[in-house]
Amino acid sequence: MYRCLFLTFLCFVSACNNRTELTKFSGFAQGTTYNITYVAPEGVDTAAVQAAVQQEFDRIDKALSNYRDDSAIEQFNAQKTTDPLKVDAELMRLVKVARQIHQASGGCYDLTIKPLFDLWGFKKDVFAPPSAEALAQTLAEVGMDKLEVAGDNQLRKTLPELRIDISSIGQGYTVERMAQILEDTGVEHYLVEIGGELKIRGRKPDGKPWRIALEKPLPGERRMHKIVSFDSGEPMALMASGTYRHYFDEDGKRYSHILDARSGKPIEHNTVSVAILHPDPTLADAWSTALLCLGTEQGLLAADKAGLAALFIDQQDDELIEHPSRAMSAIQGVSFPER
């Protein structure tokens, strides 16, 4: 709904050596690809690890997927009532995290924004600018303020038709769950990547740090913009959001798929991407979307207030201009080496 990821998981960036010492597997899940690479401790059953990862993907899909009617979250959405509804603890946690970021972003970030996304035609990939009346009507149907915590693992809609969509936070949460599965089996050195969002811990077998490429955030290009080296090996997630893959052009104007929940309209600032470094992938995922919604000027204020290591990239004509937050400029254990 919000996202356009631009992290690239490439061995030529990571300078992958000692291939026989790395265990790797990949696949397709959550509408995208995933890659998991780790150093297997002696005695670890790698087939069992892969099976556990697939089982967790299946479980999360059944619980949190907005694309299947039988998922727990879609069953919640389908209940058009203002009575308290029982939900799983993990959905409650994601809603609480999202509410905090919603408030910190001044309402720009919102899990209930999907009706607006559909209204503008992004769901069917057919651009359809709405009338002022239709926009106002749809705006009245969204808002995190219409979703209340009613008790332990209970949520209540004050608007019966309210729906929540966790695509802007769920992938980061999934990255964390997969990393936890590896750690539970004793794995201390790994890289988990899902759809370009990732978390690392430790180092490669040769002792070198994991290295990841950030893609240049320009339409029609697949070139490297920057390398990120995780030098300390401490657990760290790298999450990114961008505007440059999904948009519509009409009458000489470009309309981003990133919508501001406050106005119900596509953002109009020049920020084309935001990347965040944070130990918690769930927080980093949601914040990268929220900061992209805000744009560099407002986003830097929010990032600095929250102590977030964030890198904003603005496009001015053909030039890309970087704006790091204070925490990004001062970050330790992560570097950006020259190519």
Domains of the chain, each with CATH number or no CATH: 1-339 (3.10.520.10)
Query: CA 50 to CA 315: how far, in whole Å?
Result: 41
pLDDT in tens, the chain (339 residues): 444 444 444 443 444 444 448 999 999 998 889 999 999 999 999 999 999 999 999 999 999 998 889 999 999 999 999 999 999 999 999 999 999 999 999 999 999 998 998 898 876 667 788 999 999 999 999 999 999 999 888 999 999 999 999 999 999 999 999 999 999 999 999 999 999 899 999 999 999 999 998 887 766 666 778 899 999 999 999 999 887 555 565 655 566 788 899 999 988 888 999 999 999 999 999 999 999 999 999 999 999 999 999 999 998 888 899 999 999 999 999 999 876
Task: Give, rounded to a whole angstrom, the gap between the first and last alpha carbons of the chain.
Answer: 33
Contacts of 75 (CB under 8 A, 6+ apart): none
Query: CA 288 to CA 277: how far, in whole Å?
Result: 9
Look at residue 127 and give its three-state secondary structure: coil
* Segment 222-225 long-range contacts (CB within 8 Å, at least 24 positions apart): 224/8, 224/13, 224/339, 225/313, 225/320
Report pTM: 0.91
Query: CA 202 to CA 204: how far, in whole Å?
Result: 7
